[in-house]
Structures are given as structure tokens and as C-alpha cells.
A and B are shown apart, each in its own frame.
Chain A
């Protein structure tokens, strides 16, 4: 078990490092550096800046240093929570992001919970009642779920909401709570708005998981121990839920490592369409405006979230699967 834990922890740390390098590459990719971009912006506003000031700024941001030193400095700042300044918003990145990170987590967690809540019962039903009308219906719906990209679904839902109810279905808060400080009322308002975007984000992942669970459970149900249990007169629901479902759920927990990047990735684009106050729209805005420090920070945050989430799911797997606990599977 310790070996498994150590392996996972090392991989997580290694992945975090890789994510930080990629984020840094994204920051460095556009031609010119931060100061050039800043100067261009000041030039538009017809503010004159002298060469000395530019050099001073370069020194201040360590842009005159070799690239690996810049990287180390940047990572050091990130770890200490100094995210730098956004050129686009003229605020510190921390202020721009504000509680958007929390909102992103809320939407993604909502989507994960919804994925499970929908996929587990449907997967079990489809496997137990294989080739029934219900199974075919869910399989068909599952394929539709796989085929419809979530941002298109969001667009169509927006249109339907507008067309049928004359209401804007976007956002996470009612207008009256938009700028309010946090209160119980605001939390309830958030919970009322969360299901729709969470559903849109969750849809394709749900379809995939239903297929996985159905296939796993079908394999399990054909095993001799199930027949033995049935022959011994165990009640059918108990028999199915207590043994085969638990085994079939196992790969399910491990797929969360793939589910999480998938869901976070989907939440970015869905947030843009539904104008949710998450990191997605800010990431898009910063990329279009080439505000690379902000963009890099957000990519790093989203990446770190998946790494941490995957690590947590590995721990969960350790708790669920006795074979890992006892060190049978590495």
C-alpha cells in the first residue's frame, strides 16, 4: 500500500511540475515579452515611456535573466501566491480571479456528482436488464450524449430558454445576487442555478461512464459466484448490489482521473457560452488579449486542480479496493 501511495504521490508531483512547465511555455510562446506588450498598450494610450524605464521594468520582472531563472522565479512566485498583474484588467491576477476559482470547483464538482448520480443507476439498470427497451433507450440516449458537444448543447439550451421562457438561462446567480456579498440566500441561489450548467458539462462524461459500467457489470454478472449466490437463494437486488456492482464500480473510481480533466476542460468552453463566472471566460479573454501572465496562471490552476483531484481519486481507490490496500495490485 505504501508503495502504491508513494508511486502516486511522485507521479502527482511530477505531473504538477510538467503542468507548470507547459504553463510557462504558454506564457513565453507569443513573440516579445511582457514589457513589450505593456509598452504597446501604453503607446496606444499615448503615454511616453523612456528606454530606462523599460529596462527598469525588465529588471524588476527579471526578464533580462536566462530563461530557466525566469521560470524558477515565476514558479516561486506562484507557490507564494504572487500571481502578478493582469494587463488586461489592470488589477492583480489574484483580484481578477477572486472567487472564480471556487466557482469553477463548484461547477466541476457538481458535474462529477451529477455524472455519478446519473451514470450509476442507469448503468446498473442497463446491465441487469440487458436488451430491454429501457436498455436500448438509454444506450441510444447515451450515444446522443456522446455525439452532442457540450458547448453546442449549451447554445441550444440557451436558445430554447430564450425562445420558450424568454429568460436567459446563463450565469450562476440571479441578477439581485450578482454583486451581493456571500450570504445564505446567495448560496441557495447558486445551488438553484448550478444543475443546468453542471448537467451540460456532465453529459458526455455520463454517457461514457454508463457504457463503462454496463460493460463491467455484464462481465461480472456472468461469473460463477453470481450464479452460486443466486442458487443459494440470495435476494436478487441484494445479490446484484452487494457483490458485482461493487466490483464493477472499481474501474469507475479509477476513471475519475480521466473524468476530471475532461470535465474541467468542458467547463471552460461551456462557461464561455453560458457566461458563468468561472475561470473559463477569463482564460479566453486573456488569451485573446494576449495577457499571458493571467492566461498562464489560469492554465496552471486548472492543471493543478486536475492533478490534485486525480491524486485524491487514487487515495479513494486505495480505500475502496482491498486489493490495492493489501498490495496485490501495484
Chain B
């Protein structure tokens, strides 16, 4: 890996002036310098990192169990958080009571300004295992002197009376990891097939290239829909999760394979590869020691740019009811409730999961753009 090289080189050259630093810096170091200049990409990376922090600590950021459902508080609108009370900083929400409108038979909710529910940071709530093995009951925020699952509905509730904020946090976990798993699968397929195609050429290359062309000329969503619909109904949440990643990766690898092939083709002609061959390096060593390090940064950029499509694929499939199904929670599963215009018109907060979808997709796009520019050795 080039990181170790750059560290060694960096230690030797500490005294050299800055211009010389560029000549001796490792590839990752150069990439980082170029990437840093791309302000938007850096900001996007911070946003992506923040989302993955939420993924890791979903239980901490949620304040109620995403599954706890209560019919008497279905479709409750978001509670505005009031930060000041009598001029003093004291965040609180008003208690909300719901009753049924006897004329329209809809539930209507009324906030009671006299009943203030105080909010606090780092509150105790339901018990969970942080990162899967550290038992805890600490949450980012909660309420003082009341049961949080009966009093706080920061972003409202869905049609089954489940808290939208907490569900959104857990949905983020599912949607962002499913993208990663799908991209990892695509990467394995893409690198193997693209590598074979680019390194060996000839008949293998021809077959793989035609396969890619065919896969890319089929409209993806109908294909995904057809394959996803075949996932048996009785499968567990985890089984469906992996089935969906496979369905998505089945087409996702084509872009990566093209990238890898292109790199192999151009590198095959390079002098240093010929030199390695003449020096008697084994094929394995040429590929992994000489060729892969010189294009891995491009692969990282391509992977970043292909993640949004994977996330979107899951969201679209789940939204249509063919992807993940309840009790799994993902952005698409949540948006499924917002499918018809009547529901959305009455409860627009059900559209909220659209916001993280758009933000994450944009952030990955900007980050990938920055990485791609940084990975380009001829970039400025």
C-alpha cells in the first residue's frame, strides 16, 4: 500500500522545502492535497461521515423503539420544539392530546401550551446494546419527568402511530448499509470480471464486454422489479436484505468492471509493467504489487460515485413494495406510506424521508467527484 511508502518518505524529507515535498510525496498524500482543495467535496465527505455516525449509533440517536406502535396516536403532526421559556433557554414541547372528530372520524391533535414537556440532552431511555455488545440506555435526547414514548414526537408519527424521527434513524442504518453491501458485491464481481477482461483480452474480453453491453441495455427498474418480486414472501428480514443486495449488484458491477478493464488496458502498455515482466515478476505480483496500487484511487472514486445508485435502487424497490418489507425499516419502506396523494396532502411529514435520500445522494456525488479529480494524476 502506498500509505506506508508515503509515511517513510515523509519522515526522510521533513527538512526539504515545500516544492520538493510534492515530488517525493506518496500517492495518497498527493490525492489528499488535491482533494482538500475541493471545498464542496470536503463538506460532502463530512456529511457522509455524519450519516455513518448515525448508522453506527442508531440506538443512541433514536429516542423511542421504532416498532412501538399505538393506534391512538396515529398520524400525529410534528411537534415544534420551543427553545425559550420566559426568556430563559429551556427547550420544551407542548403536550399533545388527540381525540376523534365525530364529524370526519379523523383523529385531530391539540397542543396544550400549559403542559410543557422539558427536553434534555443525554437522557435515559429504552435499553439497547451499543455497537451490539455494550449495554446502555443513554440517548442523545429525551424528556424530563415523563415517558418519552408517550410524550415526544419530534417529527410526528406515521399511520400506525410510530415515531417518525426514531424510524428515520433506523431507516438510515438499513438504507446506507444496504448500499455498502451491494457495492462490495459489485466491486468483487467488477474487479474479477473487469480484471480478466482487461488483463487477458481476446475471447474472454469479448464475451465479458458483450455481457456488460447487454446488461446495460436492459431497463434496470423493470429488471430489478422482476427479480425482487421473486423473493419468497416467507423469507426473514435478513434473507430479503441479502437477496435485494444481490439483485442490485447483479447490474451494479458492470460500471466498475468497465472502469477496471479500462485501467488494465492502459496500464498493460506502461513501461513499468514491461520492466516488471522483464525482471521476472510473477503475474500475481505484477497485478497486485504494480498495477492495482496505481489505479486503486480511481476505483475508490468510482465506488463512491456508484453508491448513490445502489441506495436509490433499494429506496425505489422498497417504495414500490418489492424491496425490503416491514418489519424492516428503510427510507423506501417509510416512503411507501406516502404513495398516494391524499395521505401526503393530509400528512406531509410522511415525505420527510425524502430529505435524507436527496442529501446523501448529493453528498456521495460531490464526494465522488472530488475523489475522481484528486485521483487524476494530470489534474491541477
Contact = CB atoms under 8 A, between A and B. Distances in A.
Contact of B361 (A149, A290, A298, A303): A149
A261 B344 contact: no
Interface string B152-184: 000000000000000000000000000000000
A273 B338 CA distance: 10
Contacts of A155: 335, 338-339, 344, 351, 354
Contacts of B354: 152, 155-156
Contacts of A159: 341, 344-345, 348, 351
B223 interface: yes
Interface stretch (A24-32, A43-51, A92-100, A226-234): A24-32
Contacts of B222: 264-265, 268, 283, 298-299, 302-303
Contact of A295 (B229, B312, B358): B229
Nearest to A19: B218
Q: How large is the interface on A (under 10, 10 to 19, 20 to 34, 35 or more residues)?
A: 35 or more
Given A147-B365, A155-B338, A163-B345, A265 B221 contact: yes
B316 interface: yes
A59 to B, nearest CB: 26
A26 B230 CA distance: 7
A29 B227 contact: yes
Contacts of A265: 219-222
A151 B338 CA distance: 11
B226 A15 contact: no
Interface in B204-222: 210, 213-214, 216-222
A277 interface: no
Contacts of B348: 159, 163
A233 to B, nearest CB: 33
Given A14-B214, A306-B218, A158 B223 contact: no
A328 interface: no
B262 interface: no
A146 interface: yes
Contact of B219 (A11, A29, A162, A302): A302
Which secondary structure dominates where chain A touches chain B?
A: helix
A170 interface: yes
Which secondary structure dominates where chain B touches chain A?
A: helix
Interface in A291-308: 295-296, 298-299, 302-303, 306-307
B86 to A, nearest CB: 36
B282 to A, nearest CB: 35
Interface in A257-277: 257-258, 261-262, 264-266, 268-269, 272-273
Given A156-B351, A258-B216, A261-B216, A290 B229 contact: yes
B91 interface: no
B339 A288 contact: no
Interface residues of B, number: 40
Interface in A135-171: 143-144, 146-149, 151-152, 155-156, 158-159, 162-163, 168, 170
A88 to B, nearest CB: 13
Contacts of A306: 217-219
Contacts of B316: 149, 151, 269
A276 to B, nearest CB: 14
A269 B320 contact: yes
Contacts of A272: 320
A269 B1 CA distance: 43
A215 interface: no
Interface in B318-359: 319-322, 335, 338-339, 341, 344-345, 348, 351, 354, 357-358
A310 interface: yes
A287 B320 CA distance: 10
A158 B344 contact: yes
A286 to B, nearest CB: 9
B223 A299 contact: yes
A163 B318 CA distance: 26
A18 interface: yes
A11 B358 contact: no
Nearest to A296: B226
B217 A26 contact: no
B155 to A, nearest CB: 17
Contact of B210 (A11, A296, A298, A307): A11
B225 interface: yes
Q: Which of B216, B230, B308, B348 has the most CB of A within 10 A?
A: B230
Nearest to A17: B214
A268 B339 contact: no
A22 interface: yes
B123 interface: no
A155 B343 CA distance: 11
A128 interface: no
Given A30-B232, A147-B365, A261-B216, 20 more contacts: A22-B218, A22-B226, A23-B226, A143-B365, A149-B315, A149-B358, A155-B344, A156-B354, A258-B216, A264-B222, A265-B221, A268-B219, A284-B322, A287-B225, A288-B229, A290-B229, A299-B226, A303-B218, A306-B217, A306-B218
A-B complex: 3 closest residue pairs judged by Cβ atoms: A29-B230, A26-B226, A287-B229
Interface of B: 210, 213-214, 216-223, 225-227, 229-230, 232, 308, 312, 315-316, 319-322, 335, 338-339, 341, 344-345, 348, 351, 354, 357-358, 361-362, 365-366
9 contacts: A26-B229, A29-B230, A143-B366, A147-B308, A147-B365, A149-B361, A155-B335, A258-B216, A302-B219
